[in-house]
Amino acid sequence: MERRFVRSNVQLPVDLVCAGKGGDFQAPAGVVDVSQGGLRVRTGPPLITGRFVHVFLEGKGNPFAYCRVVWTQTHGGALPSEAGLEILEQLSAIPCSGQAQATNSH
């Protein structure tokens, strides 16, 4: 399967916040890679496919994006869970310096 967007590897700490039928949820996470259409995050507690999530740049309170969880993967044990988030509305740009370290992936 060919990807629709080019992905860039990043290391960016974020906070995930969502509210809904399953209850309120807030957790720190790390962005692993990002594209024009979405991002992959690692988080301790697993996310629920189909939930809507606000992504905030950690420690800044700046909203980055409003997303939908499109896939999840749990590894079990002490390893973090991963999730694919589709960007529904991008609210700010990813920082180019400082916390974010980006490299293009092929």
What average pLDDT values come out for the chain (106 residues) when binned by 10 residues?
71 86 80 92 89 85 89 81 94 61 41
- Sheet strands (E) in the chain: 8-18, 25-34, 38-43, 52-57, 62-73, 81-90, 103-104
Please identify which residue in the block is written with the tokens 């420690």: 59
Tokens of 62: 């700046």
pTM to 2 decimal places: 0.79
Our measurement of the distance from residue 97's CA atom to the centroid of its chain's CA atoms, rounded to an integer in Å, reads 18
Please identify which residue in the block is written with the tokens 């860039």: 8
Homologous superfamily (CATH) for 8-94: predicted glycosyltransferase like domains (2.40.10.220)
Domain extent listing, the chain: 8-94
Strands 62-73 and 25-34: unpaired
Instruction: Decide: 87 and 65 in contact? Cβ < 8 Å.
Output: yes
